[in-house]
Structure 1
């Protein structure tokens, strides 16, 4: 018997009777009861769609796009006027006046932009002021390493020096491990921009923290101070440290041995001579002992001679703004009474020795001893020492500076006045500047005459006449 075919793809044109609302509601309840419950995310998305639909329906933009009504009919039917369309969003500029691309997103508030601009201008002005007031590098010793001015390392070292009171306590266990070529630069910035380098600062930077390591643990460490060849104590002597303390720190005195044990025989006596002390900086060749121009009384020539006798390998030395060579500067006004009742000056130099008496004997004696100790000197900076430039070329009996033998290796000599020449200078300052400039020229001529044909050529840096 043939099967009955059902053509489901053919639609029936039989009209469908309308379903009553009661049946439809009951059927919907039954279907809803059988349907699974909606999740939270589905309910939230439905609420968002309904809110968007209601807002779009009440939006004036959609009403503005609706069919328009003639104005006469609108007035008769009292239909409100159609609101005008909203203005278009302005096209946002992508680049500023300088051609730089602006960041994405809405522009910042006006208050933010104004305040930030003022802060940036203030920071730029302060940065320029700090770099302007910061010590320049033209008076640094040649051959010594200093970071490039304005570089990242230079700014970091200057920032550490400006906040040294905090950094010396917070970084006390890390300063020793600073690279050796950066330690002199840090000491220089501390001495010039801060209150001066103290003996405790030298110990923090040049000595390892002994309370963190056991005895002998750091001996195998390759991080030593043998690579330090430059020590800059500019503007620190007399303010925060004494040269005698520096000498005892760099070259500690030999320990005294008190052996009270008596040997039975002289032949059995053991040689108890202690070995000479080891210098902390054995390769030190560049040394800056420049004083502050405002306080030039911190230099002691007696301590300098003691230091020179223990560190004769110095090749570059700066004695800028040092006072007149004198072994007892505090005794310049002191007088003693002789058995005959006469009063004489206690020291070898008084206030009138150089100006009225033209007595430079003590200054020549000090310079002769200094030249014999620093016999390897190649560079000497005497900026601001114009009051005793004349002692560099005078000779009293056997006391004089021998520029051909003792200081025959000196090839660079700085003889600047130490203060800038200005048009509005006082008359006394102009006369003093002219005398210093003339004396420096005479010293240069004297040295070249002494070395004629038997010494190195010397370059004397001095002030030149205005052209």
Structure 2
């Protein structure tokens, strides 16, 4: 049988160049053929240096020459390398991940376009934050108002140029300046700025110009109010504030003397604000999870004289808020998954369990037993924790409004939002739930005190006639 002939798919390339390349190769000069690749790269590096004038492009490796030979041969010095780019740092000092920060819709589910309508209904913008009662505020348009506003707008320069004069202002002007800086200065106020206004510059700067260190008792003895609304979680943390307002542990307790004849020890360092009675730690609900109840409990132990407190926008009381959805294995034998945190994802809605929130509020009331004013605006989601009871280890835990917080005479339980005519049914329903919870808390406190504590005034929202009609129609539909 004749053999089959297989035609090869691949053949030897032709030795003659295509006609398209022949024209370009004919125009090439011998100079182009003689130049090597290294010469072409050197020309590219040289051209990039002449165009940019800096060393940001491709730079050729220049051999180093000893300084003595460089002076003899009059060789210019090698240019210094460009400075390294500063790394972005977060508020707590940790290095931020590379790239731009994530959008807020990725971090907060309530602001995501994929969130359910009921969850979107709770996000109505920034809540209204009321100032602390009795605080000084200059008249709008007055000379003091204009000066303080200009200082706050130009805060980056003022904190450097006038750092030896800002802490000498009267106390009421310093507290007003803090609130203006928080409102008008975009980055907010840092812990260094707060220390500069309240205690003056660092000791090194004072010693350089032979300025005596200020006496904190004389300087801040009449400073009673500290308004830090919007600063917690944005530009400073409660841990930094705790370290600033507290007394160092090694100097808190004086050493005991061995003999009565030894002279009394000199007084150690005092508190930065010895007579602080009003404090505002209101936060924006968008950054609410950054407000730590654990750090607040630590700070409350150092403020026993506090009578007015503003916690507007704070999340539900929890010691482990990030472990709400975490489960762990109980043991190797059983291998069952149990909830890691005391509060689970269904603790409030299905189980009605508020034990952790009650425990945190009870610990707070034990430390701040002198409170007379408490503002919980925007905290309507955890209003039930103010009146619920939970079974503790040996007793029933609850917030004691007749004993620990029996001095509170003003309690603000507003939502912080305003219902408009074009509000959705979900927004009106949520607003009505907050108002009903506030009313239930008021009745619970009055019943618990029953003449033992002071008279309390609970400020809460009221529903309009149109909102009441919407709620009534929704309840009729539910019954039907």
Give the shorter-chain TM-score range: 0.5 to 0.7
> How far is the alpha carbon of 1:326 from its aligned partner?
0.1
The match for 1:463 is 461
Check if 1:342 corresponds to 2:336: yes
Give the distance between the partners of 2:438 and 2:231, measured in 1 at CA: 27
Rg (Cα) greater in structure: 1
Give the distance between the partners of 1:427 and 1:147, measured in 2 at CA: 41
1:394-444 CA distance string (max 9 Å, x none): 111321111111111100010111211111112211111010011101111
What are the ranges of 5 or more consecutive residues in structure 1 without an aligned counterpart? 1-134, 258-265
Check if 1:329 corresponds to 2:321: yes
- Sort the Cα spacing of 1:271 and 1:455 in 2 relative to 1 into closer, same or farther, 3 A: same
Q: Which of the numbers 275, 286, 300 marks the counterpart of 1:294?
A: 286
The match for 1:424 is 422
C-alpha root-mean-square deviation of aligned residues, in Å?
2.9
Check if 1:375 corresponds to 2:375: no
Give the distance between the partners of 2:232 and 2:413, measured in 1 at CA: 21
Q: Which of the numbers 345, 355, 369 marks the counterpart of 1:351?
A: 345
Q: Classify the secondary structure of the residue corresponding to 1:460.
A: strand
Give the distance between the partners of 1:138 and 1:348, measured in 2 at CA: 30
The match for 1:400 is 398
Structure number with greater CO (CA < 8 Å, separation at least 6) is 2
Q: Which of the numbers 185, 206, 210 marks the counterpart of 2:198?
A: 206
| TM-score, reference length from structure 2 | 0.63
Q: Classify the secondary structure of the residue corresponding to 1:278.
A: coil
1:268-314 CA distance string (max 9 Å, x none): xx999997752110000000000013321221000000011111110
- Sort the Cα spacing of 1:136 and 1:396 in 2 relative to 1 into closer, same or farther, 3 A: closer
Is 153-162 or 423-432 further displaced after alignment? 153-162
Give the distance between the partners of 2:136 and 2:441, measured in 1 at CA: 30
Give the distance between the partners of 1:405 and 1:456, measured in 2 at CA: 10
Alignment of 1:50-449 (within 5 A): 139-194=130-185, 195-209=187-201, 210=203, 211-213=205-207, 217-218=212-213, 224-255=219-250, 277-339=269-331, 340-397=334-391, 398-449=396-447
**2:300 and 2:364 in contact (8 A); partners too:** yes
Give the distance between the partners of 2:225 and 2:266, measured in 1 at CA: 29
Q: Classify the secondary structure of the residue corresponding to 2:422.
A: coil
- Sort the Cα spacing of 1:196 and 1:256 in 2 relative to 1 into closer, same or farther, 3 A: same
Check if 1:450 corresponds to 2:448: yes
Give the distance between the partners of 2:361 and 2:387, measured in 1 at CA: 11
Alignment of 1:33-52 (within 5 A): none
**1:285 and 1:316 in contact (8 A); partners too:** yes
- Sort the Cα spacing of 1:299 and 1:186 in 2 relative to 1 into closer, same or farther, 3 A: same
- Sort the Cα spacing of 1:176 and 1:441 in 2 relative to 1 into closer, same or farther, 3 A: same
- Sort the Cα spacing of 1:442 and 1:242 in 2 relative to 1 into closer, same or farther, 3 A: same
**2:289 and 2:315 in contact (8 A); partners too:** yes
- Sort the Cα spacing of 1:220 and 1:330 in 2 relative to 1 into closer, same or farther, 3 A: closer
| TM-score, reference length from structure 1 | 0.64
Aligned length: 324
**1:251 and 1:277 in contact (8 A); partners too:** no
